[in-house]
Structure 1
Amino acid sequence: MIWMKQSRQENMIYLVVWGMLFAVPLLSSYVRMFGDNHAEFRWHEVLFVWHHFSIYLLLFVVHNFLLAPLLIHARKRVLYFVTVAAVVALFAVYQHNTRPMMKFHERPHHEWREPLRDDHWKRERNHEFRRPPLVNERNIMSLTVVILMFGANLGVKGYMRGRDDRRRLAELERQNLEHQLAYLRYQISPHFFMNTLNNIHALIDIDPEKAQETIVELSRMMRYVLYDADKERVALNKELDFVETYIKLMRLRYTDKVRISLTLPADVPDRQLPPLMLISFVENAFKHGVSYQHDSFIEVSMTVADNKLTFRCRNSKAETPSQEKGGVGLANVRQRLNLLYGDRYSLRINEGANDYSVELNIPLS
């Protein structure tokens, strides 16, 4: 049901506010007793105030659980405003009918008037009593309080509804982000292992002993992908070991014509970063930067300073770039970086006449 859609925090706000209102006459009586030793605690005055507060509380309950949900949850604006107008009109009639009667010529009690002369008392006893007019200062003030109370109730409900909507939206965005990142990670892993298995296939006929060594190294990398790549963050030293192992495998494949260098920090701090974030750059360097006719080079370096990782990769350009299909490339990396870091990272890619360089700066957690 619509009226049940109310959070515990919202209920606590209402309980605290109404509790404070009902405590006011009690506190007022105790303060008066402390200020005047002859003053007495008058329960009938407290009950009189509570009686009037109870009427407003009843109107609040009706509005909070029956009327406000029509506007906040059901979006039935016409029905809401018509019903509220009817409730306010009924309250005005109730206020008018429950007011004490006054002599038709009598002024309100708060206005001063001259005492009646003795010859007027006889006529006073014969005067007609009747209630004050419907539109008067007291009724206008009461109706204003009711309208303000309804408005405050709508304000609290609107705030709570907006807060809950923002929380649900943030949760949906978080889940969507996780699904996108998982999909992107799973794109990387098959592509990487496809290339590595091709390397092993090439080594089996050339050097079986090196092929066996490659399989051992590949099993280490598979363990990393299976058990660590699904995590949101991994230790920096594990990611660097993964890149180092990959480059070690690639060294087994190429001759001395391909100059491969890797520079890692001597002291790796205890920091974390998203898994498989750097390997795509290294893969691309080997795929597009190695020439079998001329000398080639691949230079990879990583430094850590001020909780930021700087990754640099520079490679020569092959005369005929690899036409190998299935790679996920830079589009994958950019998408992951945007999802994870927003504007807190920098990626610079420079393509020269004979070389290609990448510099990535990301914060470490």
Structure 2
Amino acid sequence: MKYNKTDSVTLLMMNKRMNLMKQSRQENLIYLAVWGLLFAAPLLSLYVRTVSDANVVFNWAEVFLVWRMLAIFLLLFLLHNFLLAPLLIHGHRRVTYFSIVTMVLAAFIVYQCSTKPDRRMPLGHRPPPRMEMAGKPRPPLNPRHHKGFRRQLPPPLVNERDILSVVVLVLMFGANLGIKGYFRSRDDRKRLVELEHQNLEQQLAYLRYQVSPHFFMNTLNNIHALVDIDPAKAQETIVELSKMMRYVLYEGEKTNVPLTKEMAFLRTYITLMQLRYTNKVSISLDLPSQVPDRSLPPLLLISFVENAFKHGVSYQRESFIEVKVAIVNDVLMFSCRNSKADVPNDEKGGVGLTNVRKRLNLLYDHDYSLSIRDDADVYTVELNIPLS
């Protein structure tokens, strides 16, 4: 099937739109619940007052007065939520956002000042009547000398109600930004986790494909050496190699494989390698008699064994390779000891060990232990990994 880059980009854009729509629905449910409680508050408050006090009459005018004030804040909230907040949260246009918000706040203050009630004289207060004496009108009293007189002042430009309304509006905008920022950061974290997961899968696939050619290169060299020495064993080796290739091709692509299959693959590999060497090389394999129904990543242990054969076999003197696997409390305890060849290999562990370290870090992070001891005559590897 031919890979189409355009289709992939379109699919990613569709997924992004779906995530944004889902995020928007969750936000709207929160806003709907909050504003529903705010609009229901005056109704509940007045109802409680009428129930607790028989002299209080349920007056819809009071409710509509509060609703009128809330409606103004609701309109400003909708303006901020759908037009202004995205400028900062999604567009990162800080200057534009703060400029428009400043103008909105200024317009709100002007509206508050233009609709505030005038400060008037107290109810029931009347100017003193003119008194007539002896048929002549009495000169009016100086209003400043009247006891009940209070000078009528123009309403102040900004009072406590205006300041409180602006503070509430600013807090409302801040809460809206906080909620939007939370959903945006949560969405970013999800996308980051997805990208890390995809990157992990790509790296693991790359490392598996790198291990396989390296492994088969050495195995084919072994078969080539057996063709002239013992053709029958060479044929037997080809059959075993076909089983191993089938395992690598069909099981190596999986995330985890049964522990029994990995143990069988390890046993087949060591059996194949034993055909190449003489009695001067002591090879021992200790596997558990009963393998639990657990799984582990494929081709994880073979690199250590392959490295032991590559760097631990000496043709001038006796050498040994010891491989042991034990299962304790769902933890695989693997150890591989081998003698060191007289002439050290310049590759220092080859491609396999480098890749297996990377795979362990990607798969288990810190939930594993790997100990490698490079002594004078013995090279020891001990690995403990949890089984799934």
Matches of 1:324 and 1:211 in 2, distance apart?
A: 28
Unpaired stretches in structure 1, ≥5 consecutive residues: 107-114
TM-score (norm 1): 0.88
Secondary structure of the 2:192 match is helix
8 Å CA contact 1:287–1:321 kept in 2: the answer is no
8 Å CA contact 1:101–1:130 kept in 2: the answer is no
Measure how far apart 1:325 and its partner are.
Answer: 11
Secondary structure of the 2:353 match is helix
Residue in structure 2 matching 1:22, options 7, 28, 39? 39
Measure how far apart 1:35 and its partner are.
Answer: 3.0
Measure how far apart 1:322 and its partner are.
Answer: 4.9
Residue 132 of structure 1 corresponds to 155
**Are residues 1:329 and 2:352 paired?**
yes
- C-alpha change, 1:238 and 1:305, in structure 2 (3 Å) is same
* CA offset digits 1:8-30 (Å, max 9, x no partner): 22222212211221121222233
- C-alpha change, 1:305 and 1:253, in structure 2 (3 Å) is same
Residue 162 of structure 1 corresponds to 185
Residue 337 of structure 2 corresponds to 314
- C-alpha change, 1:244 and 1:131, in structure 2 (3 Å) is farther
Measure how far apart 1:285 and its partner are.
Answer: 0.4
8 Å CA contact 2:214–2:352 kept in 1: the answer is no
8 Å CA contact 1:263–1:301 kept in 2: the answer is yes
Measure how far apart 1:244 and its partner are.
Answer: 1.0
**Are residues 1:87 and 2:110 paired?**
no
Q: Which moved more, 1:29-38 or 1:227-236?
A: 29-38
Residue in structure 1 matching 2:85, options 57, 68, 76? 68
Measure how far apart 1:194 and its partner are.
Answer: 1.3
Measure how far apart 1:332 and its partner are.
Answer: 1.2
* CA offset digits 1:191-231 (Å, max 9, x no partner): 11111122222222222222222222212211211111112
Residue 282 of structure 1 corresponds to 305
Measure how far apart 1:37 and its partner are.
Answer: 5.7
Alignment of 1:189-204 (within 5 A): 189-204=212-227
- C-alpha change, 1:54 and 1:319, in structure 2 (3 Å) is same
Measure how far apart 1:157 and its partner are.
Answer: 1.4
Residue 135 of structure 2 corresponds to none
Alignment of 1:1-365 (within 5 A): 7-36=24-53, 40-103=57-120, 105=121, 120=128, 132-322=155-345, 327-365=350-388
Greater Rg over alpha carbons, structure: 2
Residue 13 of structure 2 corresponds to none
Matches of 1:184 and 1:120 in 2, distance apart?
A: 102
Measure how far apart 1:164 and its partner are.
Answer: 1.5
Matches of 1:94 and 1:238 in 2, distance apart?
A: 78
Q: Which amino acid aligns with 1:44?
A: A
Matches of 1:288 and 1:87 in 2, distance apart?
A: 76
Matches of 1:82 and 1:188 in 2, distance apart?
A: 59
* CA offset digits 1:67-113 (Å, max 9, x no partner): 1122222222222112111101111111122223331x55xxxxxxx
Q: Which amino acid aligns with 1:62?
A: L
Residue 109 of structure 1 corresponds to none
Secondary structure of the 1:149 match is helix
Q: Which moved more, 1:222-231 or 1:58-67?
A: 222-231
Secondary structure of the 1:344 match is coil
* CA offset digits 1:94-149 (Å, max 9, x no partner): 1122223331x55xxxxxxxx756665999xxx99997322101111111100110
8 Å CA contact 1:303–1:311 kept in 2: the answer is yes
Matches of 1:153 and 1:294 in 2, distance apart?
A: 78
Q: Which moved more, 1:32-41 or 1:196-205?
A: 32-41
Q: Which amino acid aligns with 2:72?
A: I
Measure how far apart 1:159 and its partner are.
Answer: 1.5
Secondary structure of the 2:292 match is coil
* CA offset digits 1:147-173 (Å, max 9, x no partner): 110111111112222211222122111
Secondary structure of the 1:313 match is strand
Of all paired residues, the percent bearing the same amino acid is 65
Matches of 1:203 and 1:244 in 2, distance apart?
A: 19
Matches of 1:44 and 1:116 in 2, distance apart?
A: 24
Matches of 2:310 and 2:32 in 1, distance apart?
A: 68
Q: Which moved more, 1:142-151 or 1:35-44?
A: 35-44
Secondary structure of the 1:28 match is helix
Task: Kindly report the root-mean-square deviation, in angstroms, between the aligned alpha carbons of the 2 structures.
Answer: 2.6
Residue 112 of structure 1 corresponds to none
8 Å CA contact 1:300–1:313 kept in 2: the answer is yes
Q: Which moved more, 1:42-51 or 1:90-99?
A: 42-51
Unpaired stretches in structure 2, ≥5 consecutive residues: 1-19, 131-142, 144-149
Q: Which amino acid aligns with 2:285?
A: L
Q: Which amino acid aligns with 1:26?
A: L
Matches of 1:44 and 1:93 in 2, distance apart?
A: 25
Matches of 1:121 and 1:167 in 2, distance apart?
A: 79
- C-alpha change, 1:176 and 1:218, in structure 2 (3 Å) is same
Secondary structure of the 2:334 match is strand
Matches of 1:215 and 1:203 in 2, distance apart?
A: 10
